[in-house]
């Protein structure tokens, strides 16, 4: 489809779980002329690009899936990454949305054409797509972060970022350095520790790691879930509730501070049981409160540091030379391979992930930076008609599971698009007033949360933006879901 052809119903940017879910929702609402534009060569988002050893979901799998398509066959409570990718493939095929996908298609910008009431979406290579509706489903983790460390470009050995894993590279017998101790590193370090000759972990900020109650789901139970889906619904209710219980003290910190603190004790206990060396334990102990950073789960992480071949460097990297890393304390470590578990650039290149220009030339990224990060219900923005930013905008993220977002945003879309059709309207746009009042409510409720009241100063958490702002939605996933049934449709104008 090019600029001189009939507009598509919708363009969805990103073929991860949010993109797949919104395509299914749009089809259900009667829109079938859809293009899903995906930069990568396959669908699945982070579950396509991440292939590092140890990759697994860090929430119970029954909670980490679409409620309309439960998977009875998860092999473990915390399914490995490969199974999640297979699940994404299965859903895309079963609901027949793969045919909308165009891979290796990198969207660069989108501009609203107020005369023709369409979005003009430009992709690398010069092609322009035209559509009535624009949905960005680019996720929070789409732009890998490459650290700026003096000398890194002169390193002569192998460099691997965890989002571009080289499956052909054999770590056995190698001298490995790994930078980062976030959720990815927590999964990867125990795996690399099994094969590396020597491994040094460069930690800038320690992380709280709580025990992971993982287990294989027996075949008989999987069969039961398949034959009697209600049994799996009960199981999901339990895992949803468990995730909510972990999340709740963070948003009701004023009332549940004790509970939040007690979770940190689990991490302390795990460290104490795994590590006898007091100095090592001290270095691995965060000073900030549990919950300032995304919680991480592992039974192996702390134990890995007690292995003979694993070393912790908490001094900080001064520079990298062609064959070694020099620390600020003067120690030098020769290495063969440098693994960057340095995560993603969340704030700079993610809000939004592409250039989006609305009515009167309003540039979304610039407007957010000048006026504060804001959305209506985590999705809609005034002056951006027929646009929804899914699972990647300010106040979109509710709870710990990405699927919490996908679920409530689908429900929001259902009411919004049904109303649009009912009125036989061509466009929708959220009002300035509704958006401002939603943002004001979010900011007010934020003041009750751990991120505002807790001790997060030393956490270096991506939950905080460059000016200390936080845009996690301070409501329970169930409350957010319920709100999608009641938000006033008059918050939007239809024309
Ligand atoms: P991350 O949490 O942002 O961690 C990045 C790590 O790299 C941090 O330890 C950071 O240190 C360090 N780092 C970055 N730049 C550095 C530099 N210049 N020098 C030294 N250290 C540097 O990223 P992530 O571990 O990839 O995890 C990101 C998110 O992905 C998670 O929070 C989670 O939501 C998701 N995830 C999910 C799963 C899953 O199973 N579902 C698995 C993995 C990840 P500082 O802390 O000091 O900044």
Q: Give pLDDT tens digits for 62-115.
A: 999 999 999 999 999 999 999 999 999 999 999 999 999 999 999 999 999 999
Q: In a 10 Å sphere around its CB, with 0-12 CB exposed, 13-18 middle and 19+ buried, how is residue 204 labelled?
A: middle
Give me the residue spans of the domains in the chain: 8-143+346-494, 152-214+227-340
Give residue 11 CA to ligand 1 midpoint distance, Å: 30
Pocket test residue of 183, 202, 208, 283 for ligand 1, highest count of atoms within 8 A of CB: 183
Share the mean pLDDT of the chain.
95
Reported in sequence order, the residue ranges of 181-244 that DSSP labels E, i.e. its strands, are 198-202, 209-210
| Other CB atoms within 10 Å distance of the CB of residue 168 | 5
Give residue 79 CA to ligand 1 midpoint distance, Å: 20
* Domain 152-214+227-340, CATH: 3.50.50.60
Contact 203, 286 (CB under 8 A): no
pLDDT at residue 176 is higher than 90: yes
pLDDT at residue 455 is higher than 80: yes
pLDDT at residue 470 is higher than 80: yes
Ligand 1 neighbours, Cβ below 6 Å, are: 56-58, 141, 145, 147, 149, 179-185, 187, 204-205, 294, 341-344, 460, 462
Residue nearest to atom 43 of ligand 1 (CA): 184
The better pLDDT of the pair 150, 401 is held by: 150
pLDDT, average across residues 164-176: 97
**Predicted local distance difference test score (pLDDT) of residue 350:** 85
pLDDT at residue 389 is higher than 70: yes
**Predicted local distance difference test score (pLDDT) of residue 369:** 94
pLDDT band at 441 (very low <50, low <70, confident <90, very high): very high
CA of 78, closest atom in ligand 1: 40
CA of 163, closest atom in ligand 1: 26
pTM confidence score: 0.95
Helices (H), 289-381: 301-304, 364-371
Give residue 174 CA to ligand 1 midpoint distance, Å: 23
Give residue 340 CA to ligand 1 midpoint distance, Å: 10
Give residue 189 CA to ligand 1 midpoint distance, Å: 13
CA of 149, closest atom in ligand 1: 18
In angstroms, the CA 305 to CA 307 distance is 5
Give residue 207 CA to ligand 1 midpoint distance, Å: 10
Give residue 460 CA to ligand 1 midpoint distance, Å: 10
Q: Which strands sit side by side in the sheet containing 332-334, from one edge to the other?
A: 317-321, 324-327, 332-334
**Predicted local distance difference test score (pLDDT) of residue 339:** 98
**Predicted local distance difference test score (pLDDT) of residue 319:** 98
**Predicted local distance difference test score (pLDDT) of residue 487:** 98
pLDDT, average across residues 472-478: 93
pLDDT, average across residues 409-429: 97
pLDDT band at 1 (very low <50, low <70, confident <90, very high): very low
pLDDT at residue 3 is higher than 60: no
Q: Give pLDDT tens digits for 281-308.
A: 999 999 999 999 988 999 999 999 999 9
pLDDT at residue 397 is higher than 50: yes
Distance in angstroms between the alpha carbons of the first and the last residue of the chain: 25
Give residue 145 CA to ligand 1 midpoint distance, Å: 9
Distances (CA, A) of 76 to 70, 72, 113, 187: 14, 11, 48, 16
**Predicted local distance difference test score (pLDDT) of residue 4:** 54
Pocket test residue of 50, 52, 139, 180 for ligand 1, highest count of atoms within 8 A of CB: 180
pLDDT at residue 158 is higher than 80: yes
- Residue 361, helix vs strand vs coil: helix
Q: Give pLDDT tens digits for 221-242.
A: 999 999 999 999 999 999 999 8
Architecture of domain 8-143+346-494 in this structure: 3-Layer(bba) Sandwich (3.50)
Pocket test residue of 184, 292, 297, 315 for ligand 1, highest count of atoms within 8 A of CB: 184
Give residue 56 CA to ligand 1 midpoint distance, Å: 15
High-pLDDT (> 70) share of the chain, %: 99
pLDDT at residue 216 is higher than 70: yes
Domains 8-143+346-494 and 152-214+227-340 share a fold: yes
Residue nearest to atom 29 of ligand 1 (CA): 183
**Predicted local distance difference test score (pLDDT) of residue 420:** 98
């Amino acid at each position: 489809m090019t600029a001189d052809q009939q507009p598509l119903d919708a363009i969805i940017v990103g073929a991860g779980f949010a993109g797949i879910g919104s395509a299914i929702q749009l089809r259900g609402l009667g829109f079938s002329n859809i293009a899903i534009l995906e930069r990568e060569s396959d669908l699945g988002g982070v579950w396509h690009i991440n292939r590092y050893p140890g990759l697994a979901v860090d929430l119970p799998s029954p909670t980490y899936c679409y409620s309309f398509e439960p998977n009875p066959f998860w092999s473990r409570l915390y399914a490995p990454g490969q199974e999640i990718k297979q699940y994404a493939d299965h859903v895309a095929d079963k609901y027949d949305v793969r045919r909308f996908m165009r891979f290796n298609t990198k969207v660069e910008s989108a501009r609203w054409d107020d005369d023709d009431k369409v979005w003009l979406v430009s992709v690398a290579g010069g092609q322009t797509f035209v559509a009535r509706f624009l949905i960005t489903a680019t996720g929070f983790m789409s732009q890998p972060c490459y650290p700026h460390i003096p000398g890194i470009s002169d390193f002569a050995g192998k460099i691997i970022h965890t989002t571009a894993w080289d499956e052909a590279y054999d770590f056995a017998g190698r001298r490995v350095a790994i930078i980062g101790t976030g959720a990815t590193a927590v999964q990867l370090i125990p795996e690399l520790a099994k094969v590396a000759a020597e491994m040094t972990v460069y930690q800038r900020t320690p992380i709280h790691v709580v025990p992971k109650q993982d287990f294989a789901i027996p075949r008989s139970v999987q069969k039961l879930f398949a034959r009697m889906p209600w049994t799996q619904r009960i199981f999901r209710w339990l895992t949803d509730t468990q995730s909510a219980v972990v999340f709740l003290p963070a948003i009701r910190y004023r009332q549940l501070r004790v509970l939040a603190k007690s979770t940190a004790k689990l991490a302390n206990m795990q460290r104490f049981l795994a590590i006898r060396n007091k100095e090592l334990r001290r270095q691995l102990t965060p000073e900030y409160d549990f919950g300032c950073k995304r919680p991480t789960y592992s039974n192996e992480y702390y134990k890995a540091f007690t292995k003979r071949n694993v070393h912790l460097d908490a001094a900080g990297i001064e520079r990298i030379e062609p064959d070694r890393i020099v620390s600020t304390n003067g120690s030098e470590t020769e290495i063969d391979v440098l693994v960057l578990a340095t995560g993603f650039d969340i704030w700079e290149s993610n809000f939004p992930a592409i250039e989006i220009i609305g009515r009167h030339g309003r540039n979304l990224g610039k407007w957010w930076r000048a006026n504060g990060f804001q959305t209506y219900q985590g999705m809609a923005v005034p002056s951006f008609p027929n646009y929804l930013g899914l699972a990647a905008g300010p106040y979109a993220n509710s709870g710990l599971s990405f699927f919490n977002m996908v679920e409530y945003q689908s429900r929001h879309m259902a009411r919004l698009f049904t109303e649009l059709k009912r009125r036989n309207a061509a466009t929708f746009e959220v009002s300035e007033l509704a958006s401002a009042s939603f943002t004001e409510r979010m900011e007010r409720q934020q003041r009750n949360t751990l991120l505002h009241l807790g001790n997060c100063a030393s956490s270096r958490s991506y939950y905080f933006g460059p000016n200390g702002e936080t845009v996690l939605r301070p409501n329970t996933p169930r409350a957010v879901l319920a709100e999608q049934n009641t938000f006033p449709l008059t918050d939007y104008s239809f024309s």
